[in-house]
Amino acid sequence: MRLLFLIAFCIACGSKEKLAPQADDLEILRSYYEDNLAKLKGIPSKTDCDGLLWAGLAKAGGVELDLDAFQSDSGELHRRPSKDCYETGDSRSSVSNDMIVGWAWGVYYSKDAKALEKFLQFAEDNKMIVGKPKNGVGEVLVKPNVQGLLGRLSYHLKLGSRPYGGIRLPYQESNKDYVKHIQTLMIALDGELSDKMPELDIKLVCKYAKEDKDDYLMAAVCSVYNGGITDAINLLIEEPEPPSYVRGDQKERYRLAHWLFTANYLLNQGD
């Protein structure tokens, strides 16, 4: 009953539509984008256990890479192509909700309905427990808002509606950098799957952007709904130091993936 109330609450709240960027701004950004795109080839990292997140974002940023390398024939997703992060002790789980969100962006960009169907079938067959460990502390359970997002992506890719596609709970504000990052990615992807966005979601992203004035991803997503796209593009072109959540064994390649993803997100608003 409480879940239904929260869903109804979020749907009933105010919503915002996208604002169109100026063609001149996009033309300037495109030249920088093409230069940076030439600097990143293939999967950003095949060894890091955050590899799937950044591979998905790089794919959505226009980088040519094999995202299927992270997925087993069963549909299960893994943190890196060797599919052994949990077994080697390099991570406490074989996959995570963060990784799934990054992968979902890659699936959306490439319109890979087959990969999405394989994963959703695997998740549904396993009651949304999608990795190791399978029970107890650290259990890899797809979170409600991630379920809802994937359900809406399924509908968008013409795979049909899913019973969990209507889940859309209010996001809880966080002071953790990686949580802000993933929430922003989820809100942005939801905006690509629907004509309007809950005003509460946009307010949250804009608050995050205000707290970190150099975070060009959050500035970009906020600007698409609240205005200031020219300022967001200028910030992106300035290329400030990447946010603290851009880290790992291939930080420079992750920085490029993050930049390309944000630039391509803005460029696609002009289509």
Q: What per-residue confidence (pLDDT) applies to 5?
A: 39
Classify residue 7: in a domain, yes or no. no
CA pair distance 250, 51, nearest whole angstrom: 9
pLDDT in tens, 202-256: 999 999 999 999 999 999 999 999 999 999 999 999 999 888 999 887 899 999 9
Classify residue 11: in a domain, yes or no. no
Classify residue 196: in a domain, yes or no. yes
Structure tokens at 42: 């293939």
Which residues are within 8 A (CB) of 127 and not within 5 positions of it... i.e. 6 or more apart? none
Res 196 pLDDT > 60: yes
CA pair distance 106, 43, nearest whole angstrom: 12
Classify residue 181: in a domain, yes or no. yes
Res 142 pLDDT > 50: yes
pLDDT classification of 10: cutoffs 50, 70, 90? low
- Are 51 and 81 spatial neighbours (Cβ–Cβ below 8 Å)? yes
Total number of domains constituting the chain: 1
Domain that holds residue 134: 17-270
What Rg value do the Cα atoms of the chain yield, rounded?
Answer: 18
**CA-based nearest residue to 250, from 260, 258, 239:** 258
Classify residue 58: in a domain, yes or no. yes
Alpha-carbon torsion 116, 119, 124, 125, what sign?
Answer: positive
Classify residue 12: in a domain, yes or no. no
Classify residue 32: in a domain, yes or no. yes
> Taking the complete model, does pTM exceed 0.75, yes or no?
yes
Classify residue 3: in a domain, yes or no. no
